[in-house]
Amino acid sequence: MELIKRGAEAEIHLSEWQNRHVVLKSRVVKSYRHEEIDRRLREARTKLEAKLISEARGFGVSTPIIYDVDTLKSQIVMEYIDGKQIKEALHIVGDEEQKRLCTEIGRCVGKFHKNDLIHGDLTTSNMILMNDRIYFIDFSLGGKSKEVEAKGVDLHLLSEAFESTHSEILEMFDHVLEGYKIEYTEADKVIAKVKEIEKRGRYT
Protein backbone atom coordinates (compact mmCIF):
# COMPACT_ATOMS: atom_id res chain seq x y z
CA MET A 1 0.00 0.00 0.00
CA GLU A 2 1.08 3.56 -0.70
CA LEU A 3 0.27 6.28 1.80
CA ILE A 4 -1.03 9.32 -0.09
CA LYS A 5 -2.45 11.40 2.76
CA ARG A 6 -2.26 11.44 6.53
CA GLY A 7 -4.79 13.69 8.22
CA ALA A 8 -5.89 14.33 11.78
CA GLU A 9 -8.78 11.88 11.45
CA ALA A 10 -7.70 9.34 8.85
CA GLU A 11 -4.97 7.88 6.68
CA ILE A 12 -5.52 7.39 2.94
CA HIS A 13 -3.68 4.64 1.08
CA LEU A 14 -3.63 3.52 -2.54
CA SER A 15 -4.15 -0.20 -2.57
CA GLU A 16 -5.44 -3.21 -4.55
CA TRP A 17 -8.76 -4.91 -3.90
CA GLN A 18 -10.11 -7.73 -6.08
CA ASN A 19 -7.84 -6.66 -8.97
CA ARG A 20 -8.93 -3.02 -8.73
CA HIS A 21 -6.93 0.08 -7.86
CA VAL A 22 -8.68 1.42 -4.77
CA VAL A 23 -8.40 3.98 -2.01
CA LEU A 24 -8.33 2.59 1.51
CA LYS A 25 -9.43 5.13 4.11
CA SER A 26 -8.68 4.19 7.73
CA ARG A 27 -9.76 6.27 10.71
CA VAL A 28 -6.88 6.58 13.16
CA VAL A 29 -7.05 5.63 16.82
CA LYS A 30 -7.11 8.61 19.18
CA SER A 31 -5.09 7.57 22.22
CA TYR A 32 -6.31 10.54 24.30
CA ARG A 33 -9.87 9.21 24.19
CA HIS A 34 -11.25 6.33 26.21
CA GLU A 35 -10.66 3.20 24.12
CA GLU A 36 -14.31 2.13 23.86
CA ILE A 37 -15.56 5.67 23.18
CA ASP A 38 -12.90 6.09 20.49
CA ARG A 39 -13.89 2.78 18.86
CA ARG A 40 -17.56 3.73 18.80
CA LEU A 41 -16.87 7.19 17.41
CA ARG A 42 -14.65 5.84 14.62
CA GLU A 43 -17.19 3.14 13.78
CA ALA A 44 -20.07 5.65 13.67
CA ARG A 45 -18.15 8.16 11.53
CA THR A 46 -17.07 5.40 9.14
CA LYS A 47 -20.65 4.21 8.68
CA LEU A 48 -21.94 7.76 8.23
CA GLU A 49 -19.30 8.72 5.68
CA ALA A 50 -19.95 5.62 3.57
CA LYS A 51 -23.70 6.35 3.74
CA LEU A 52 -23.24 9.98 2.67
CA ILE A 53 -21.01 9.04 -0.27
CA SER A 54 -23.56 6.50 -1.48
CA GLU A 55 -26.49 8.89 -0.96
CA ALA A 56 -24.74 11.62 -2.93
CA ARG A 57 -24.37 9.25 -5.88
CA GLY A 58 -28.09 8.61 -5.64
CA PHE A 59 -28.72 12.36 -5.90
CA GLY A 60 -26.79 12.45 -9.18
CA VAL A 61 -23.44 13.72 -7.85
CA SER A 62 -20.31 11.86 -8.91
CA THR A 63 -18.55 10.22 -5.95
CA PRO A 64 -16.27 7.19 -5.58
CA ILE A 65 -17.99 3.81 -5.62
CA ILE A 66 -17.92 2.16 -2.18
CA TYR A 67 -16.63 -1.41 -2.49
CA ASP A 68 -16.38 -2.43 1.15
CA VAL A 69 -16.88 -1.04 4.66
CA ASP A 70 -15.14 -2.67 7.65
CA THR A 71 -16.58 -1.09 10.79
CA LEU A 72 -14.34 -3.14 13.11
CA LYS A 73 -11.26 -1.60 11.49
CA SER A 74 -13.01 1.71 10.71
CA GLN A 75 -12.02 1.35 7.06
CA ILE A 76 -13.69 2.17 3.75
CA VAL A 77 -12.52 0.66 0.47
CA MET A 78 -13.56 2.84 -2.44
CA GLU A 79 -12.94 3.55 -6.10
CA TYR A 80 -9.71 5.38 -6.92
CA ILE A 81 -10.54 8.53 -8.87
CA ASP A 82 -7.53 9.10 -11.09
CA GLY A 83 -7.90 12.75 -12.01
CA LYS A 84 -6.82 16.28 -11.17
CA GLN A 85 -7.98 18.27 -8.18
CA ILE A 86 -10.34 21.10 -9.12
CA LYS A 87 -8.01 23.25 -7.03
CA GLU A 88 -5.42 22.77 -9.79
CA ALA A 89 -7.71 22.32 -12.78
CA LEU A 90 -9.34 25.74 -12.43
CA HIS A 91 -5.97 27.39 -13.05
CA ILE A 92 -5.04 25.52 -16.23
CA VAL A 93 -8.29 25.65 -18.22
CA GLY A 94 -9.77 28.47 -20.27
CA ASP A 95 -12.42 30.94 -19.22
CA GLU A 96 -15.37 29.00 -20.64
CA GLU A 97 -14.27 25.76 -18.98
CA GLN A 98 -13.83 27.61 -15.70
CA LYS A 99 -17.43 28.83 -15.98
CA ARG A 100 -18.66 25.31 -16.79
CA LEU A 101 -16.81 23.74 -13.88
CA CYS A 102 -17.93 26.38 -11.40
CA THR A 103 -21.55 26.13 -12.53
CA GLU A 104 -21.36 22.35 -12.13
CA ILE A 105 -19.85 22.70 -8.64
CA GLY A 106 -22.80 24.90 -7.70
CA ARG A 107 -25.30 22.45 -9.12
CA CYS A 108 -23.74 19.58 -7.17
CA VAL A 109 -23.80 21.53 -3.90
CA GLY A 110 -27.41 22.40 -4.67
CA LYS A 111 -28.19 18.69 -5.02
CA PHE A 112 -26.57 18.05 -1.65
CA HIS A 113 -28.53 20.76 0.10
CA LYS A 114 -31.93 20.10 -1.41
CA ASN A 115 -31.52 16.56 -0.04
CA ASP A 116 -30.34 17.90 3.36
CA LEU A 117 -26.81 16.52 2.93
CA ILE A 118 -24.00 18.61 4.39
CA HIS A 119 -20.57 17.87 2.95
CA GLY A 120 -18.72 19.53 5.81
CA ASP A 121 -15.47 20.28 3.97
CA LEU A 122 -16.40 21.96 0.70
CA THR A 123 -13.06 22.98 -0.78
CA THR A 124 -11.74 22.54 -4.31
CA SER A 125 -9.17 20.13 -2.87
CA ASN A 126 -12.04 17.72 -2.23
CA MET A 127 -13.24 17.77 -5.84
CA ILE A 128 -11.52 15.80 -8.59
CA LEU A 129 -11.94 16.27 -12.34
CA MET A 130 -11.91 13.01 -14.28
CA ASN A 131 -13.31 12.49 -17.78
CA ASP A 132 -14.99 15.92 -17.66
CA ARG A 133 -16.90 15.01 -14.50
CA ILE A 134 -16.41 16.46 -11.03
CA TYR A 135 -16.12 13.85 -8.28
CA PHE A 136 -16.67 14.89 -4.67
CA ILE A 137 -14.53 13.16 -2.05
CA ASP A 138 -13.89 13.25 1.72
CA PHE A 139 -17.26 13.37 3.44
CA SER A 140 -15.59 12.70 6.81
CA LEU A 141 -16.99 15.90 8.37
CA GLY A 142 -20.38 15.54 6.69
CA GLY A 143 -23.84 14.91 8.04
CA LYS A 144 -27.54 15.45 7.46
CA SER A 145 -29.43 18.64 8.36
CA LYS A 146 -32.49 20.55 7.22
CA GLU A 147 -31.20 23.73 8.88
CA VAL A 148 -30.43 26.77 6.72
CA GLU A 149 -27.58 27.56 9.14
CA ALA A 150 -25.82 24.25 8.41
CA LYS A 151 -26.19 24.74 4.68
CA GLY A 152 -25.00 28.32 4.99
CA VAL A 153 -21.87 27.22 6.84
CA ASP A 154 -21.24 24.60 4.14
CA LEU A 155 -21.52 27.14 1.31
CA HIS A 156 -19.58 29.76 3.27
CA LEU A 157 -16.66 27.34 3.55
CA LEU A 158 -16.62 26.99 -0.24
CA SER A 159 -16.73 30.78 -0.60
CA GLU A 160 -13.74 31.08 1.73
CA ALA A 161 -11.90 28.41 -0.24
CA PHE A 162 -12.35 30.48 -3.41
CA GLU A 163 -11.12 33.62 -1.66
CA SER A 164 -7.99 31.94 -0.34
CA THR A 165 -7.13 29.58 -3.20
CA HIS A 166 -8.66 31.18 -6.30
CA SER A 167 -8.49 34.90 -5.52
CA GLU A 168 -7.38 35.75 -9.07
CA ILE A 169 -10.57 34.21 -10.50
CA LEU A 170 -12.86 35.08 -7.59
CA GLU A 171 -15.53 36.29 -10.02
CA MET A 172 -16.02 32.65 -10.98
CA PHE A 173 -17.76 32.07 -7.65
CA ASP A 174 -20.74 33.90 -9.16
CA HIS A 175 -21.11 30.91 -11.51
CA VAL A 176 -21.04 28.57 -8.50
CA LEU A 177 -23.98 30.50 -7.09
CA GLU A 178 -25.76 30.42 -10.46
CA GLY A 179 -25.49 26.64 -10.55
CA TYR A 180 -26.61 26.43 -6.94
CA LYS A 181 -29.74 28.46 -7.69
CA ILE A 182 -30.55 26.32 -10.73
CA GLU A 183 -30.60 23.17 -8.61
CA TYR A 184 -31.95 24.34 -5.26
CA THR A 185 -35.19 26.29 -4.92
CA GLU A 186 -34.26 27.49 -1.40
CA ALA A 187 -30.89 28.82 -2.59
CA ASP A 188 -31.64 32.49 -1.82
CA LYS A 189 -32.22 31.71 1.87
CA VAL A 190 -28.89 29.90 2.13
CA ILE A 191 -27.01 32.64 0.24
CA ALA A 192 -28.52 35.23 2.61
CA LYS A 193 -27.30 33.08 5.52
CA VAL A 194 -23.80 33.04 4.01
CA LYS A 195 -23.78 36.85 4.00
CA GLU A 196 -24.94 36.84 7.62
CA ILE A 197 -22.12 34.44 8.56
CA GLU A 198 -19.61 36.68 6.80
CA LYS A 199 -20.83 39.69 8.83
CA ARG A 200 -20.49 37.69 12.06
CA GLY A 201 -16.89 36.94 11.15
CA ARG A 202 -16.10 40.61 10.64
CA TYR A 203 -17.47 41.62 14.02
CA THR A 204 -15.93 38.87 16.17
In CATH terms, the fold of domain 2-79 is Phosphorylase Kinase; domain 1 (3.30.200)
User: What pLDDT score does 1 carry?
Assistant: 80
CATH number of this structure's domain 84-202: 1.10.510.10
Query: Can you give the residue ranges of every domain in the chain?
Result: 2-79, 84-202
* Full-model pTM: 0.93
User: What pLDDT score does 48 carry?
Assistant: 97
Whether 121 is catalytic is yes
Catalytic residue among 38, 68, 121, 188: 121
User: What pLDDT score does 88 carry?
Assistant: 97
DSSP character at residue 18? T
Give the CA distances from residue 58 to residues 67, 110, 180, 192, 195, in Å, rounded to whole numbers and listed in that order: 16, 14, 18, 28, 30
State the burial class of residue 15 (Cβ atoms within 10 Å of its Cβ: 0-12, 13-18, 19+). Answer: middle
Please give the Cα distance from 144 to 140 (Å, whole number). Answer: 12
Cβ–Cβ < 8 Å for 95, 45 = no
User: What pLDDT score does 105 carry?
Assistant: 98
- pLDDT string in tens for the chain (204-residue length): 898 888 878 999 999 999 999 999 999 998 888 999 999 999 999 999 999 999 999 999 999 999 999 999 999 999 999 999 999 999 999 999 999 999 999 999 999 999 999 999 999 999 999 999 999 999 999 999 999 999 999 999 999 999 999 999 999 999 999 999 999 999 999 999 999 999 886 655
Cβ–Cβ < 8 Å for 21, 14 = yes
User: What pLDDT score does 202 carry?
Assistant: 65
